[in-house]
Amino acid sequence: MAERSIRVRVPGTSANLGAGFDTLGLACNLYNELELTLTHDPGLTFDIQGEGAGRIPEDERNIVWRSIRLLLERTHRDREYRGAVIRMKNDVPLSRGLGSSAAAIVAGLKGANALIGNPFNRREILHLATEIEGHPDNVAPAIFGGCTISTVKGRHVDTFAFFPRMQLHFVVAVPDFYLPTKKAREVLPDTVPRADAIFNVGRVALLVAALMKGNVPFLRHALDDALHQPYRAKLIPGMYDVFRAAGEAGALGTVLSGAGPCLLAFTIDGEHREAAIGRAMQQAFAAHDVKADIKVLGLDTKGAHIINERPHMHESEGAKSHGGLH
């Protein structure tokens, strides 16, 4: 049987959005692309460009491959397809709180699923992706696009995806250090004071309502958190100073993106404050000796999708025509 290649594009994501710890997420217009070929012969070939090149493992530990393998096992196709050619072009910064691992997982699942005839629908892909990632709040927007509210009950994962009724922009400060999610979760307490739980219940309800209604004044009040950001602040030098600086420069509010260390400031279209907010965030980080890049992003509304599909080329042809993940 001929081997086929497929190309998948998956957005980066920001989880939590302040009060919605492990629950809320959004997809942004920053993408990783995977070109995947499943091979009948065992063996893995990698070509990783862009973010994470040289750091991402190029062997059995690779998370794209682990996701592909899980999908093949669950569909009993793992004896048929025992290896892969994995070419990636990554724009999502690695291990910074913009959903790089979710993007890798979803890319692997989506690509392999398409190559074997789409046995799983998006909800089933969500279950597999959550099983690998451990929580749904990054994988859900990576799959569905837009904003997502995800819940987990036992092994059942549900996601409600919606588009906010306002044109949001995100000014993201990307510090020049990595923060593994595992480390950022270790600092969190197992139990929280009731007052903090109530604080978050109110904020998260208000945040969803404000996004759905396009209510800017309420959105300003909703971007705060008591469940994870206060504990993680010690891992991100100057976090609250950056929040303050972004607010003074005109941001509606600023949150820790996922487990960090990226910080994400919300603005709305037409105010043209992104450049000033970005500068203010960068300067506030610099005062704490942290170098940060600034990205101005918008919402992705499409989620993971297949770009094209074609018969697998031989290496010599591939060198000419594959080069083409850009």
Give the footprint of ligand HSE on this chain (CB under 6 A): 15-16, 21-22, 135, 137-138, 181, 184-185, 228, 258-259
Query: What is the smallest separation between the CB atom of 218 and ligand HSE, expressed in angstroms?
Result: 23
- DSSP codes joined into one string, 256-296: E-TTSS-EEEEEETTS--HHHHHHHHHHHHHTTT--EEEEE
Q: Which residue's CB is nearer to ligand HSE, number 106 or number 184?
A: 184
CB of 311 to ligand HSE, least distance (A): 37
Cβ proximity of 3 and 35 under 8 Å = no
In the complex with ligand HSE, the residue whose CB is nearer, 63 or 72, is: 63
Residues 6+ apart with CB under 8 A from 316: none
147 token code pair: 């904003």
Nearer residue to ligand HSE within complex by CB, 161 or 166: 161
- Based on CB atoms, which residue is closest to ligand HSE, 184 or 252? 184
Residue 229: exposed, middle, or buried by beta-carbon count in 10 A (0-12, 13-18, 19+)?
Answer: buried
Largest CA distance in the chain: 64
Q: Could you please report the per-residue DSSP string of 167-213?
A: -EEEEEEEESS---HHHHHHTS-SS--HHHHHHHHHHHHHHHHHHHH
Cβ contacts of residue 195 below 8 Å, gap of 6+?
A: 226
Is the Cβ of residue 25 or residue 303 nearer to ligand HSE in the bound state?
A: 25
Minimum distance from CB of 52 to ligand HSE (Å)?
A: 16
CB nearer to ligand HSE: pick between 28 and 85: 28
Judged by CB, which is closer to ligand HSE: 38, or 106? 106
CA–CA separation, 258 and 241 (whole Å): 18
Residue with smaller CB distance to ligand HSE, 98 or 173: 98
User: CA 213, 144, 215 angle in degrees (round to 5)?
Assistant: 10
In 3D space, the residue among 128, 194, 163 whose CA is nearest the CA of residue 27 turns out to be 163
What minimum distance in Å lies between the beta carbon of 250 and ligand HSE?
Answer: 26
Angle at 319 between CA 313 and CA 321, to 5 degrees: 65
DSSP 145-165: -SEEEEEEETTEEEEEEE--S
Task: Give min distance, CB of 181 to ligand HSE, in A.
Answer: 4
Q: Structure tokens of 104?
A: 């890798």
**β-bridge partners, 50:** 90
Q: How far is the CB of 175 from ligand HSE (least distance, A)?
A: 16
Closest CB 235 distance from ligand HSE, rounded Å: 12
Q: How far is the CB of 71 from ligand HSE (least distance, A)?
A: 21
